[in-house]
Structure formats: C-alpha cells, structure tokens
C-alpha cells in the first residue's frame, strides 16, 4: 500500500521526489527489467455476441464450449431469442453472429442494406422439421402434404383425426407448435401451407421446443411440429409421422427425399466482425472437424463434404450477401452451395 504523506510536513512535489530518490519499494510495485507489474489488470477477453434460432442453439452452444476450452482469451456468448428476434438484434448492431433456422428474409435484407450492414451467410447443418404425435396414437403413421395442409392451414376447422383421413378414428386433435418468432414456424407454414406465417387459429404455441415435446408426450390426441433433433432425442416419448411415405432420417434429410420439410441451418456473420481475428477464428472452428462433430452430437445432419468445402471457399473468399434468395422448401442446398 502506498504511504500516506502528511501534507503539513512536505508538499506533494517534494514527497514524490523523495520517494523516487529513496527507491521506496513499499510505495509502488517494482518495474525492474521493464517487466509488467504483478498487480496489473489482466487483459479483457475478446467477446463474441451470438443470438437467434432456438433450433440452431444446441449446435452453436456446444461449439462455443469446445472453442472456449481451446481459446481461453475469447468468450463467445450464445443466446436463443428465436430467428426473428435474432435478426432484429443483428440489424440493430447488437450481434456479431445471428443463428437462423431459415434463410434471411427480403424485409430483413432491406433493413440490413439500409443500415449498410454487410454479412457472410454460412450454412452449418441440415435439419428436417418433424411432425410428432403421442406413442398412444396407433392409427396415424403417415400423412401427405395435402393432409397436413388441411389440418394446419389458416382457417382450418379440422378438429378430429378422421377429418384429416377418413381411415383415422373420430378422435380429437390438440395442435401444438412453436411461436411465430421461430424460423421453424416460418419454414413449416411456407412448406405446408404455401405462405409464411399463415396457420390455423386453434393451436397452442410455445416458445420452447422442450415444452412442446412434453405436451405431446402427455396428450394422446396431440400433433405438433419440431426440429429433427427434438424428435430424435425424445424417441422414447414421441413418434414421428412419415410425410408422403418418407420418414425423417439423416439420409432422407440430406438427400432431400424428406420433402418439403428438409432444410438447411445457418449462421450469418457481420462482415465488420469477420475482420476481428477472434470472430474469424470462431467461424473457422464452426466449419472445422470439431464444429461439425457438434452437429451430430446434437442430433442434426452434417453438411456433405462437397457442400462443406464450397461453404469454406465462400467464407475464405469473403463473399457477402445471400445465395438463398427465392430458395423454397423442397429445394436442395446444393442448388446454391456445392456441386449441382
């Protein structure tokens, strides 16, 4: 601790000169040999702000933990406000990276252009929106896209299973799904109903997918739609319907035969943030071996090798903007990235 010098005895100037001249080691830390002081504050960790999709959250959260273990000086913070809310924060300049379970929308692109925010679009995995029911439902094993539309379309009055298919019993249906803040909601409504954000009025929305799974697991009459990983990780609690005779599997999702509910998942990175070595290092980690391992660890589907290499080349070239404009459910990611 520095000595307190009585102001009535010596002036501040004389005191300072005296202490320097005497080399009073108790009054200040040593700087001998030009070494940093032992009590100097530690350098602040570089931070990376990430928010967005609840679906993509498990992947990026795992990546962030693994990345932090190897890069103690870099601190990624990952949240899950939902794809829509994530893009709002990204547009407002609050994030380095937004995670998304659907491509950036035209209105979001317009706002980003107005704010002069350039970004790099990076596909990171595949997902297949899964239609789930209670295991006690022994009658519904398959539905067609048209049957799903009849049940989920805006204005639908379908209330019992036999109104979807006459072969099903006259049992009531309770509809569950994510809120309109989710990319999964937007993707499902466009893929099945033909227009984003149009859905039946009588359904129970929830912000958390785990709550949706829990609801279906406890309700024999339930039907819901969730991301593939939420089905896979809860196969002991819920069942997935085949759609048009095709089940959601790693193979059908990546080859596009699980149509129109196969979809790519993304991160969008601000170009100005990519100039930050910490952010660039994180992006490289996402696309590296451990980043892709986090995809399968969280029950999603890895990008095929040719697509992954095309995405890496896209990032290395610093290409900005979206390749996904006018991308519709049922289209393949290879139409935009990788070999066609």
Contact (Cβ atoms closer than 8 angstroms) between residue 269 and residue 120: yes
Identify whether 260 is preceded by a cis peptide bond (ω within 30 of 0): yes
Q: What is the pTM of this model?
A: 0.81
Contact (Cβ atoms closer than 8 angstroms) between residue 67 and residue 285: yes
Q: What's the pLDDT score for residue 181?
A: 87
* pLDDT at 309 > cutoff 90: yes
Q: Convert the pLDDT of each residue in 158-169 to its tens digit.
A: 999 999 999 999
Q: What's the pLDDT score for residue 334?
A: 83
Q: Convert the pLDDT of each residue in 5-32 to its tens digit.
A: 343 333 443 333 333 343 333 333 333 3
Of 87-101, 195-209, 225-239, 323-337, the least confident:
323-337
Q: How many angstroms separate the CA atoms of 221 and 204, rounded?
A: 13
Q: pLDDT band for 339, please (50, 70, 90 cuts).
A: low
- The percent of residues in the chain predicted with pLDDT above 90, rounded, is 79
Q: How many angstroms separate the CA atoms of 281 and 241, rounded?
A: 40
* pLDDT at 120 > cutoff 70: yes
The Cα diameter of the chain in Å comes to 102
DSSP class of 222: E
Q: Tokens 């990008």 correspond to what residue?
A: 303
The domains found in the chain, sorted by start residue, are 46-127+262-335 (3.40.190.10), 133-255 (3.40.190.10)
Q: How many angstroms separate the CA atoms of 332 and 125, rounded?
A: 13
Q: What is the mean pLDDT of the chain?
A: 87
Give the other-Cβ count within 10 Å of 276's Cβ: 16
Contact (Cβ atoms closer than 8 angstroms) between residue 79 and residue 46: no
Collapse the DSSP code of 206 into the 3-class scheme (helix H, G, I; strand E, B; otherwise coil) and give the result.
Answer: strand
Q: How many angstroms separate the CA atoms of 265 and 303, rounded?
A: 10
């Amino acid at each position: 601790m520095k000595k307190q010098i009585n102001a009535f005895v010596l002036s501040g100037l004389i005191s300072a000169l005296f202490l320097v001249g005497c080399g009073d080691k108790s009054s200040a830390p040593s700087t001998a040999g030009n070494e940093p002081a032992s009590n100097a504050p530690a350098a602040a960790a570089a931070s990376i702000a990430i928010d967005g999709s609840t679906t993509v959250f498990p992947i990026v959260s795992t990546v962030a933990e693994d990345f932090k273990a190897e890069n103690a000086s870099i601190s990624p913070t990952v949240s899950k406000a939902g794809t829509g809310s994530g893009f709002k924060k990204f547009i407002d300049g609050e994030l380095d990276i937004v995670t998304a379970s659907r491509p950036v929308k035209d209105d979001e692109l317009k706002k980003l252009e107005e704010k002069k925010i350039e970004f790099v679009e990076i596909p990171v995995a595949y997902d297949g929106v899964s239609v789930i029911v209670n295991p006690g439902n022994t009658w519904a094993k398959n539905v067609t896209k048209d049957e799903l539309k009849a049940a989920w379309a805006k204005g639908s009055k379908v209330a019992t299973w036999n109104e979807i298919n006459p072969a099903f019993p006259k049992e009531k249906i309770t509809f569950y799904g994510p809120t309109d803040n989710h990319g999964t909601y937007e993707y499902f409504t466009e893929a099945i109903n033909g227009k984003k954000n149009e859905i039946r009025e009588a359904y129970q929305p929830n912000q958390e997918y785990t709550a949706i799974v829990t609801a279906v697991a406890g309700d024999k009459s339930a039907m819901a739609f969730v991301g593939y990983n939420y089905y896979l990780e809860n196969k002991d609690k819920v069942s997935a319907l085949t759609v048009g005779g095709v089940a959601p599997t790693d193979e059908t999702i990546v080859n596009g035969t699980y149509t129109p509910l196969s979809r790519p998942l993304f991160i969008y990175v601000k170009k100005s943030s990519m100039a930050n070595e910490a952010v660039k290092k994180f992006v490289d980690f996402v696309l590296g071996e451990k980043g892709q391992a986090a995809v399968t660890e969280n029950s999603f589907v890895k990008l095929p090798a040719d697509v992954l290499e095309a995405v890496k080349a896209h990032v290395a070239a610093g290409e900005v903007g979206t390749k996904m404009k006018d991308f519709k459910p049922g289209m393949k990611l290879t139409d935009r990235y990788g070999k066609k």
